[in-house]
Amino acid sequence: MSELSLEQLQQELASAVLDTPEAVEAFRRRWIGRKSVVAALMQRIREIPPEQRRAYGQQVNALKAAAEAKFREAVETLKAQELEAKQAAIDVTLDGVPLEPGAYHPLSVVMQQVVSIFRELGFETVEGPEIVDDWHNFTALNTPEDHPAREMQDTFYVHRHPDWLLRTHTSAVQVYEMERRRPPLRIISPGRVYRNETISARAHCIFHQVEGLYIDTVVTFADLKQTLYTFVQRFFGTGTGVRFRPSYFPFTEPSAEMDIACLICHGKGCSVCKHTGWVEILGCGMVDPQVLLNCNIDPAAYQGFAFGMGIERLAMLKYGIDDIRLFFENDHRFLSQFIGQ
């Protein structure tokens, strides 16, 4: 190497062909850095007679600059070629990777269906809080402290706050709305409710309800029946049989429960309908005058009806689901069956 003259090196540099990564790497080792021929030429500057040093130094520096420029250019060219090769490898005619569509949770599906049916019947959707005080969940709803009806619903109380609880029914929203606004009122309120129950295929400590409330100057039990009858025909299909049975709720008088003809056995009798041919889907009744009074509405001027239904129950009947726990497990095999609903 040291034998090569500057001119020879200049020629070698000029004729180097850097068309592969290997050639570029070999070039780098020979021409760039501390062990390169250029560095060796620099070292030799001390052996050069002083009067020639300046010219020699300029020539070596020019060689160095030329080597570096050639190297940089070669690296750029290689990079560009690599990119071009990569782009050429993309086959734009290939099919795309299919995206798996998401699905609404079946409870959301049913909730939306219920809300939209009642919206068409003129009901406005409102929401209330899930943590409520005793007044909104019980007392205003004509269920004072010592009332035996409290035993009907096992309540979760908020630790160290005996007055605060997780609402046991969406009926609490009725009270909020009647306190907040003046009649006429025509609302439904979907949401989560809580009861301290043992979890089984039929019961859960969390579930969902939709509450309905209609208050105006003239509202009759016939309006209640027609509204709920229409709902059932639209939700479960025309021709679905319904029946009303007398029942009891502290906040309605008279009270009723509504059954639909069992969709599983069509009235022949099965385990879902406990061999009666009928399945209960909701509680309802005319709002008790005492409840109106509690909310500062004059029962002499206004009357109304209310109803409350369980969303899980509706979903189980409509889609033939036999275990309420499925709604809360988030098992993909279950949820994916509702894609497109």
Which stretches of the chain bind ligand PHE, using CB under 6 A? Answer: 169, 171, 249, 252, 283-285, 306-308
- 36 vs 294 by CB, closer to ligand PHE: 294
DSSP H or E run through 256: strand 252-261
Residues contacting residue 336 through CB under 8 Å, at least 6 positions apart = 103
Q: How far is the CB of 301 from ligand PHE (least distance, A)?
A: 21
Between the alpha carbon of residue 120 and those of residues 217, 309, 341, the distances in Å are 21, 18, 20
- 48 vs 280 by CB, closer to ligand PHE: 280
The structure tokens 């029942």 sit at: 247
What type of residue is 92?
V
- 190 vs 308 by CB, closer to ligand PHE: 308
- 252 vs 294 by CB, closer to ligand PHE: 252
Q: How far is the CB of 141 from ligand PHE (least distance, A)?
A: 8
- 9 vs 287 by CB, closer to ligand PHE: 287
What are φ and ψ of residue 284, in 5° steps? -160, 175
288 within 8 A of 174, measured Cβ to Cβ: no
The tokens describing 331, both together, are 């098992």
Half-sphere exposure of 32 (CA within 13 A, CB side): 14
The Cα 12–Cα 10 span in angstroms is: 5
Q: How far is the CB of 331 from ligand PHE (least distance, A)?
A: 28
Please name every residue paired with 185 in a beta bridge, in sequence order, or none if there are none.
215
Q: How far is the CB of 252 from ligand PHE (least distance, A)?
A: 5
The Cα 180–Cα 174 span in angstroms is: 10
From the list 4, 32, 274, 302, the residue with the least C-alpha distance to 181 is 302
Q: How far is the CB of 266 from ligand PHE (least distance, A)?
A: 26
DSSP reduced 3-state for 75: helix
- 67 vs 260 by CB, closer to ligand PHE: 260
- 27 vs 308 by CB, closer to ligand PHE: 308
Q: How far is the CB of 256 from ligand PHE (least distance, A)?
A: 8
The structure tokens 């500062």 sit at: 296
- 194 vs 307 by CB, closer to ligand PHE: 307
Alpha helix locations (H) across 203-331? 221-236, 289-294, 311-319
Q: How far is the CB of 210 from ligand PHE (least distance, A)?
A: 10
- 231 vs 307 by CB, closer to ligand PHE: 307
The tokens describing 117, both together, are 């049916």
Please name every residue paired with 211 in a beta bridge, in sequence order, or none if there are none.
189, 308
Half-sphere exposure of 22 (CA within 13 A, CB side): 0
Residue sitting closest to ligand PHE (CB): 308
Q: How far is the CB of 271 from ligand PHE (least distance, A)?
A: 23
